[in-house]
Amino acid sequence: MDFHFLLKGAIELHCHSYPSIFPRKQTDWELIEDVKKANMSGVVLKAHEASTVDRATLIRLKEPGLHVYGGLVLNQFTGGLSPQAVDAAIRQGAKIIWMPTISANQHCCHFGQKKTRFFNSDRPLGNEGDGLTILDESKQLKQEVHEILTLIGEADITLATGHLSTEEVVILIDAAKEHHIEKILIQHADLGIAPVPINIQKQLAKKGAIIEKCYLACSEDFKDLSLAQMAESIREIGAESCVLVTDYGQDHNIPPIEALSHFVEEMLEAGITSREIETMIVHNPRKLLGIKDEVRNNAGTAYYVY
């Protein structure tokens, strides 16, 4: 399989693999083989239903030259908005803490259901009520969320917004800055499940957040915007405040690294420069993951990046 040369040194921050209770395209090891073939630097493993920290740790033991990391999504079946669960994940080596995704109230409302179901089954997964929200009845951030933000800030890892509503995202990011969190990732801001308007994306970028530009939003599954519109949104926000991700791994889609290659090629065709691509798939992911190491660009020049 041929991968675009511009994936060299890249890190994919948002994709899914197996083991999982959901149907996935590849195992962790098949994903890692594609990462290596593409001369990428690494990947972040994400799972809605479990911590991925231990999986990533085992992979790094076998592939010490790769930056393979995991984290915890705060869904109901992983502990919910639990400071204790976050603390344990951080002690294990989590690099990202994701706010609720398929347990989020926003997610449940979008799909018009109070139960999150398997992608290939009618059996409910186990969400309760209307899903999780980070706000209390007074629209203030819940105390346990403040405790979680304190832990993230002290560990200097990344806070990701998951499938929260725009209202929740705005309140969360303001609180995150108060808790001295420097690494903030606004997840698939263009995806229809939990969209963030472009004017809000720009405001969040000005506050130091990094905005995920997600290939899945342009896919046949969602069709939330065209590739041309995706490129225009990057120009509006600025590549220095964006990362390219796929959110792929679903069994019916092409593998994540192949998808990332297509995404890069299509953004180049839409007028995004190779330097901007490098910023979004090499430099910004390293900043979010706290990585500083030597990288050689496609001209062979060595430099150090975060």
Say yes or no to pLDDT of 123 above 80.
Answer: no
Distance CA(147)–CA(64), nearest Å, equals 33
Radius of gyration of the chain (CA): 18
Per the CB < 8 A criterion, the answer to whether 141 and 271 are in contact is no
What are the C-alpha distances in Å from 155 to residues 142, 160, 287, 305? 20, 14, 14, 20
**pLDDT band at residue 302, thresholds of 50, 70 and 90?**
very low
pLDDT band of residue 277 (cuts 50, 70, 90) is: very high
Residue 296 pLDDT class (50, 70, 90 cuts): low
Mean pLDDT computed over 232-255: 98
Give the mean model confidence (pLDDT) for residues 192-221: 97
Say if CB 186 and CB 213 are below 8 A apart.
Answer: no
pLDDT value for 128: 56
- pLDDT > 70 in the chain, percent: 88
Q: What is the mean pLDDT of the chain?
A: 91
Q: What percent of the chain has pLDDT over 90?
A: 85
Position with higher pLDDT, 33 vs 299: 33
Burial of 268 (0-12, 13-18, 19+ CB in 10 A): middle
pLDDT in tens, 21-52: 999 999 999 999 999 999 999 999 999 999 99
CB atoms within 10 A of CB 110: 16
Pairwise CA distance, residues 108 & 115, whole Å = 7
For residues 253 and 259, the answer to whether their CB atoms sit within 8 Å is: yes
- Residue 198 has a CB neighbour count (10 Å cut-off) of 17
Q: Give the pLDDT mean for 92-106.
A: 96
Q: Say which residue, 283 or 6, is predicted with more confidence.
A: 283
Beta strands in the chain, from DSSP E residues, in sequence order = 11-15, 42-45, 67-69, 71-73, 96-98, 158-160, 183-186, 210-214, 242-245, 293-296, 302-305
Decide if pLDDT at 301 tops 50. no
Q: What dotted CATH number matches 5-292?
A: 3.20.20.140
Of 1 and 183, the structure prediction assigns the larger pLDDT to 183
